[in-house]
């Protein structure tokens, strides 16, 4: 895809931003259908913001405590910047039904489990506690029901006997980094 008509994308983060880094790297490749024009963070101390500023990506921090007011501000800003796709990447806030509807359902998320199993938090701990043989990660459309939108792509990751939530999270994160770009290619190429 030549740079002129790439899909203007915003990445929403709350923390480390390792998925953001991989998405940014992918966005610079010729095969990428997206360009990352904006990073929005729910936390002013998110490490992903430092990366974004270093790469001169436009960044905004919003305090999601006043969700309705903030969401309307964000929607206005997204429209002003002609953003067409939102990628949630380690984003820890819940977007309202109104926001999701207003953004024409063009919001995708990465979740560290094999959905529909283990929606919500502490997915690795719960999978290990339940003696699951596999876990994994899933890229899905964001709907008004938490971690329940249409699945785009997912990848299984074997759970070893000696795994801790930390060791499993580390291994799944590596798979997430490869899966997110693949899901975008599946959607738009």
Partnered with residue 145 across adjacent β-strands are: none
Cβ atoms of residues 37 and 28 within 8 Å? no
Rounded to a whole number of angstroms, the minimum distance from the CB of residue 4 to ligand GRF is: 28
Active-site residue, selected from the candidate residues 111, 124, 140, 177: 111
Q: Under rule CB under 6 A, how many of the chain's residues touch ligand GRF?
A: 13
**For this structure, is 111 an active site residue?**
yes
Rounded to a whole number of angstroms, the minimum distance from the CB of residue 22 to ligand GRF is: 8
- φ, ψ (nearest 5 deg) of residue 26: -65, -40
- Closer to ligand GRF by CB, 76 or 166: give it: 166
**Footprint on residues 150-179 left by ligand GRF (CB under 6 A):** 173, 176
User: Is residue 15 a contact residue for ligand GRF (CB under 6 A)?
Assistant: yes
**Footprint on residues 62-81 left by ligand GRF (CB under 6 A):** none
CB within 8 Å of 34: residues ≥ 6 apart = 6, 7, 8, 9, 23, 26, 27, 85, 184, 188
Closest chain position to ligand GRF (CB): 90
Write the CA distances from 107 to 24, 119, 125, 147, integer angstroms.
17, 17, 27, 12
User: Is residue 181 a contact residue for ligand GRF (CB under 6 A)?
Assistant: no
Q: Judged by CB under 6 A, which of 19, 32, 41, 42 binds ligand GRF?
A: 19
Partnered with residue 111 across adjacent β-strands are: 138
Cβ atoms of residues 1 and 156 within 8 Å? no
Q: Judged by CB under 6 A, which of 7, 9, 10, 17 binds ligand GRF?
A: 17
CA angle 60, 64, 67 (to 5 degrees): 120
Stretch that binds ligand GRF, among 13-21, 26-34, 37-45, 95-103 (CB under 6 A): 13-21
**Footprint on residues 80-99 left by ligand GRF (CB under 6 A):** 89-90
- Closer to ligand GRF by CB, 7 or 173: give it: 173
Give me the active site residues, please: 111
Q: Which residues bind ligand GRF (CB under 6 A)?
A: 13, 15-20, 89-90, 110, 112, 173, 176
């Amino acid at each position: 895809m030549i740079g002129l008509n790439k899909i203007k994308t915003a990445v929403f983060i709350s923390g480390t931003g390792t998925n953001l880094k991989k998405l940014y790297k992918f966005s610079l490749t010729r095969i990428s259908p997206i360009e990352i024009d904006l990073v929005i963070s729910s936390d002013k101390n998110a490490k992903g913001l430092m990366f974004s500023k270093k790469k001169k990506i436009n960044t905004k921090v919003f305090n999601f405590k006043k969700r309705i007011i903030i969401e309307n501000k964000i929607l206005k800003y997204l429209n002003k910047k002609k953003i067409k796709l939102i990628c949630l990447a380690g984003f820890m806030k819940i977007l309202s039904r109104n926001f999701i509807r207003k953004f024409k359902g063009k919001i995708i998320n990465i979740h560290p489990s094999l959905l529909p199993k283990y929606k919500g938090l502490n997915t690795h701990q719960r999978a290990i506690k339940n003696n699951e043989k596999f876990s994994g990660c899933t890229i899905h459309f964001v709907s008004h029901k938490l971690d329940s939108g249409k699945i785009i792509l997912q990848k299984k990751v074997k759970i070893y006997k000696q795994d801790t939530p930390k060791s499993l999270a580390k291994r799944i994160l590596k798979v997430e980094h490869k899966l997110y770009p693949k899901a975008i290619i599946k959607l738009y190429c």
